[in-house]
Structure 1
Amino acid sequence: MADTPQDEAAKARIIKHMNADHADSLFYYLQHFCKLSSRNAHGATLSSISLSSMTLKTTDGKTHTIPLNPPMKSWSEARTRSVEMDREARSALDISSIRITEYEPPRKPVQVVLFAILTLTWLACIFQSFIVPGSWLYKVAEFFPGGGAETFLWMIRKMTWGFIGLHIVESFLLDRIRLRKHGVVRGTAVWWKWIGSCLIEGFACFQRIDATIERRTKEAEKAKH
């Protein structure tokens, strides 16, 4: 049976709504129901829908059809069905309903000071070969308490690889157990900001993102009442 004008209008509304407001759900649908990687699923759009299936198109031009079992009886079921699919996909992928959508920079004085100290530590590790007698960097390092420039250089040489390795591991863990779980797609601008920040400040980044998650969880709970 051919679709009626009312059917076509309903499908158009659903497609427009899903693409405009639920791109994250489409992303998770493809990962769970079609077993696509997050990279291949990112940026997908809903191209068509029927009572028995939906078809999504990925950025590489490929289409992926997800059967709706059981088929919907009418278009009025679309919202409920999409919510159920989203819940199933998130549960299977271990994705929280609390989403991180932006980067939270250090704001409190102690956070800013720590970020500055660790940034300087990174710079010292990277440019330690330029801290030589007679250079302005060496003269600045002479103010280091407990032995001046030579003590400073000895300490930097001893800690460089451990410092870098620790912060790389912390950034890996941030991606795996925080960012992915809370909807931050790898490679996006928000992801790079959090990862870059974690590379610099390490565990302090976890504390800040956990505070953000806690705040948004409370907001979500409050909205239910």
Structure 2
Amino acid sequence: MSVTRENLNNTFVPPGHPYIKPIIVCGIIMALSSRREVISPGSPLYDYILFRSGTAVKAATWIQNGLFYFLFGAHAMETVMFTRRLSEHGVSVLSLAWFKWVATCFVGGKFVFEHFDRVVGKAA
């Protein structure tokens, strides 16, 4: 039995419900993990919580660094894997649709995989 693949013809389908909220949350967490100012003196997090203990500042730094490297590393690998799917479904490399899909995947990770599977008819 042959599997038919939906050809997207270089189109981008923006994610909607239920994928848009988790993609936005991933983007916000990625942005916050990349900004040292979030846990620096003068930030609300530091001024109300972290100032009490040097250990809390060290822990927050470890958590922020861990989130940064995990999220950016994992999403970069997912994006590389996602590019193969794009070519299988008729999205040309370096087309505008390709850039939109890749950028969305880098921010949204696994949620974009689920959205893409729904768009191409792989998942119901």
- Tell me: CA distance 1:183–1:126, structure 2 relative to 1, closer, same or farther (3 Å): same
Structure 2 counterpart of 1:41: none
* Unmatched 5+ stretches in structure 2: 50-55
TM norm structure 1: 0.44
Structure 1 counterpart of 2:73: 165
d(CA) in 2 for partners of 1:103 and 1:136? 38
Higher relative contact order (CA 8 A, sep 6+): 2
d(CA) in 2 for partners of 1:114 and 1:152? 23
d(CA) in 1 for partners of 2:72 and 2:28? 13
The answer as to 2:37 corresponding to 1:130 is yes
- Secondary structure of the residue aligned to 2:16 is coil
2:100 counterpart (165, 175, 193): 193
The answer as to 2:37 corresponding to 1:104 is no
1:115 counterpart (23, 32, 35): 23
- Secondary structure of the residue aligned to 2:32 is helix
d(CA) in 2 for partners of 1:97 and 1:207? 16
Count of aligned pairs:
110
Structure 2 counterpart of 1:205: 112
Structure with larger Rg: 1
More strand by share: 1
Kindly provide the CA deviation profile for residues 129-185 of structure 1, in whole angstroms up to 9, marking residues without a partner as x.
22211135745x95xxxxxx8455432212221221111110011101x10011111
Q: Would the aligned equivalents of 1:114 and 1:201 in 2 still touch at CA under 8 Å? A: yes
CA RMSD of aligned residues (A): 2.4
Kindly provide the CA deviation profile for residues 101-152 of structure 1, in whole angstroms up to 9, marking residues without a partner as x.
32222211x422211211111111221x22211135745x95xxxxxx8455
Kindly provide the CA deviation profile for residues 84-106 of structure 1, in whole angstroms up to 9, marking residues without a partner as x.
xxxxxxxxxxxx75211322222
d(CA) in 2 for partners of 1:206 and 1:125? 23
TM norm structure 2: 0.75
